[in-house]
Amino acid sequence: MREPAVEARAAAPLSPPAALTVAAGTVLAGAAVLVGPSQSAVAGGILLGFVLPGLALGESLFRGRGLTAVERTALVPALSLAVLVAAGLIIYVAGYPLNRVAWVSATVAVTLAALVAAAVPGGRPAAGDTEPAERPRLRRHLVPLALVLATLGFAGVYSYRSSVRAYDVRVTALSVSPPGTPDATGRRTVDLTATGLVAADGPYSVVISAAGTATTRQTVTVPADGVWTDRLSLSSDRTTISLYRTGETTAYRTLLIAAAGLQ
């Protein structure tokens, strides 16, 4: 004879005193991470990263849903990690540094806001009430599914835009044609080309040094297409060609030409 299935018992929602305890613990955990010693900072970071935001969001998003203790246990770290991912993306896009203050502020703010939302009347049924039978079961999955899709969509759009910006970054390069055979006076002619010049970094300077002594300095105005070329007459000594951006004393690009050819 088949035994009747045993239904999982729904976990009780947080009572107002418990919610206040979670709120106070959130504030204390944030303070521990920011100003506490290393041991308390680690403990507070674990609570803010894996427990408190998910616990508060679970109370706000799934109040009155009759979730079991196992479901709530699985949702708490999942929602907490989702807060870290979404908050990190938003903070980075907003232009703020991803440091300890930013992470603590985000997790504490989300946790407290979720606790306040969970305390708003109207969403949680009275004691002994159950979820209406006519409510579609699919609704239990809409909120987490929407959160996952929103996070993935936001991350995808941001990743695409970041790749486009990285692809469009202009790279400045300095190149020279192979030096030919020295003429009767011992000098060689080369064609020097600088590509990817940025107007905001100009005007540039080209410094030519032979035998360790600077012999020529030339100012380079950035053309409209960012490409500059010039024919240079060099000595047969080992020569260094350096490209400097305006206001800088360290060479941005450098070429070395040995007496026998290009290195």
pLDDT tens digits for range 55-73 = 998 888 877 666 777 888 8
Q: 162 and 231: one domain?
A: no
pLDDT (average), residues 11-34: 87
| Alpha-carbon dihedral 96, 102, 103, 109, rounded to 10 degrees | -120
Judgement on whether residues 229 and 115 belong to the same structural domain of the protein: no
Which residue range forms the structural domain that includes residue 238? 173-262
Report the distance separating Cα 197 and Cα 219, nearest Å: 13
| Residue 151 pLDDT | 65
For the chain, how many structural domains are there in total?
2
Residue the block writes with tokens 């941001």: 158
- The model's pLDDT over 207-254, given as tens digits with 9 standing for 90+, comes to 998 877 878 888 998 898 889 999 888 888 888 999 999 888 899 899
- pLDDT tens digits, one per residue of 94-148: 878 888 999 899 999 999 998 988 887 654 454 455 555 445 555 555 666 666 6
Are 196 and 115 found together in one domain? Answer: no
Does any domain span residue 90?
Answer: yes
Domain-embedded: residue 83: yes
Give tens-digit pLDDT for 248-263: 889 989 988 887 544 4
Is position 132 within any domain? Answer: no
Out of 150, 167, 184, a domain closes at 167
**What is the reported pLDDT for 202?**
84
Does residue 96 sit within a domain?
yes
pLDDT for 143: 61
- How far is the C-alpha of 235 from the C-alpha of 21, rounded, in Å? 80
Angle at 229 between CA 225 and CA 231, to 5 degrees: 165
Residue 40 and residue 159 share a domain = yes
User: Would you say residue 43 lies in a domain?
Assistant: yes
Is 78 found in the same domain as 49?
yes
Q: 8 lies in a domain?
A: no
Helix (H), strand (E) at residue 204: strand 204-210
User: 156 and 66, same structural domain?
Assistant: yes
Looking at residue 27, what is its pLDDT?
A: 94
153 and 190 fall within a common domain: no
Asked whether residue 3 carries a pLDDT value surpassing 90, the answer given is: no
Asked if residue 44 is part of any domain, the answer here is: yes
Same domain, 196 and 159: no
Whether residue 255 lies inside any domain: the answer is: yes
**Domain identity same for 144 and 183:** no
- 180 and 240 share a domain? yes
- Tell me what pLDDT residue 212 has: 73
